[in-house]
Amino acid sequence: MLRIAIQAKGRLSEQSVSLFSEAGIQVAESKRKLVSRAEGFPLEVLYLRDDDIPQAVSMGVADVGIVGLNEVAEKGFSVEQIMELGFGGCRISLAVPKTVEYEGPEFFRGKRVATSYPNILARYFAERGIEADIHSIAGSVEIAPAVGMADAIFDIVSSGGTLVSNGLVEVEKVFYSEAVLIANPTLSEEKRAELNQLTFRFNSILGSRGMKYVLMNLPKERIEEAIRILPGMRSPTILPLAQEGWCSLHAVIAQNQLWERIEQLKAIGAEGILVLALENMIR
Ligand code: PRT
Ligand code: ZN
């Protein structure tokens, strides 16, 4: 049975649990428990702080884990990155007080930069031959410049609101992150097979995001044109209608192409167009 580590409490925990639920796997939220057994899949869930997940997976305490790519990159433990999960998106950026003049990364030479991500930052500076003074602090990085602890910060940004309210400006976007599924590199064959089953479900869920299912009535003589507009997964499904000369056409279409394609279909005589949400797409 696979053992998966997820964040006990925090920004990734709720969405980890709801991804499982979409995959037909019931996982309880942590509620001070350390381990629990999922329903709907042979899976044991270990609830940890996000900082500890890369190490737990690397040591084999957990076989797989869900954690931000930022933590994986910062901690540097040997784990296999299996797939991106489409939530928890953020970036780690350098930010300076809005009152200083900033012309480029050379600004940081000899400056004190506060961060909880010293390793990622050290790599960024090393690649540019910049020597700076990296101050590793555990929390509330954004207040460091105001209290005189640092000249700049390197911290997670998502909307940018925290920077603005602390009088800081984002000047370099260094690292992009989202929640990822990681695995211990030496899983047994049996666990590898279970992991493949899990990623198959996750891929089906992620693959259907942003996709819609459309159906419409169409005069039979326009089928060829409609197929050119709507190629679908393999090709659209066409069913006869009771009314002579008409058919019903079904296809999957990307949300961002939806309106343009619908206008083209209307122009060739499509009627009664229905657009439905797509829950899963099994490829
Ligand atoms: O207790 P534990 O150690 O498990 O949790 P934590 O407090 O270390 O982490 P948590 O729950 O805050 O974040 C978990 C993961 O979510 C991070 O490692 C990132 O991968 C991801 N993530 C996504 C974020 C954000 N967005 C985010 N906005 N993590 C933190 N923030 C913070 C950021 O530190 C800053 O204080 O939100 C603030 C910035 O937000 P904006 O929107 O104002 O820019
Ligand atoms: Zn943490």
Q: Which two tokens stand for residue 108?
A: 């940081």
**Predicted confidence band of residue 141 (pLDDT cuts 50, 70, 90):** very high
Take atom 4 of ligand 1 and give the residue whose Cα is closest: 49
Mutate to test the pocket of ligand 1, among 6, 7, 9, 11 (most ligand atoms within 8 A of CB): 11
Provide the pLDDT for residue 157: 98
**Predicted confidence band of residue 80 (pLDDT cuts 50, 70, 90):** very high
Please state the φ and ψ torsions of residue 193, each to the nearest 5 degrees: -65, -40
H-type helices in 44-173, by residue range?
A: 53-59, 69-75, 118-127, 161-165
Is the separation of the CB atoms in 111 and 96 below 8 Å?
A: no
Take atom 39 of ligand 1 and give the residue whose Cα is closest: 157
Sheet holding 271-277, edge to edge: 237-240, 246-254, 211-219, 271-277
Provide the pLDDT for residue 210: 87
- If you measure from the C-alpha of residue 107 to the centroid of ligand 2, how many angstroms do you get, rounded to a whole number? 29
- If you measure from the C-alpha of residue 50 to the centroid of ligand 2, how many angstroms do you get, rounded to a whole number? 5
What mean pLDDT, rounded, does the chain reach? 95
Provide the pLDDT for residue 32: 76
Provide the pLDDT for residue 71: 98
- If you measure from the C-alpha of residue 35 to the centroid of ligand 1, how many angstroms do you get, rounded to a whole number? 23
Provide the pLDDT for residue 41: 95
**pLDDT digit string, tens, across residues 88-104:** 999 999 999 999 999 99
Mutate to test the pocket of ligand 1, among 158, 159, 178 (most ligand atoms within 8 A of CB): 158
Is the separation of the CB atoms in 71 and 54 below 8 Å?
A: yes
- If you measure from the C-alpha of residue 163 to the centroid of ligand 1, how many angstroms do you get, rounded to a whole number? 13
Least confident of 36-40, 219-223, 277-281: 277-281
**pLDDT digit string, tens, across residues 49-68:** 999 999 999 999 999 999 99
**pLDDT digit string, tens, across residues 195-222:** 999 999 999 999 888 899 999 999 999 9
Q: Which two tokens stand for residue 58?
A: 């690397």
More confident residue, 81 or 33: 81
Take atom 11 of ligand 1 and give the residue whose Cα is closest: 10
162 pLDDT more than 80: yes
The stretch 254-263 carries a mean pLDDT of 92
**Predicted confidence band of residue 233 (pLDDT cuts 50, 70, 90):** low
**pLDDT digit string, tens, across residues 106-139:** 999 999 999 999 999 999 999 999 999 999 999 8
Distance CA 133, CA 150 (A): 9
Strands of the chain, DSSP E:
2-7, 35-37, 43-48, 64-68, 80-84, 90-97, 112-115, 133-136, 152-157, 168-177, 179-183, 211-219, 237-240, 246-254, 271-277
Distance CA 63, CA 111 (A): 41
Distance CA 211, CA 200 (A): 18
Least confident of 122-126, 130-134, 145-149, 236-240: 236-240
Is the separation of the CB atoms in 75 and 55 below 8 Å?
A: yes
pTM of the predicted protein model: 0.88
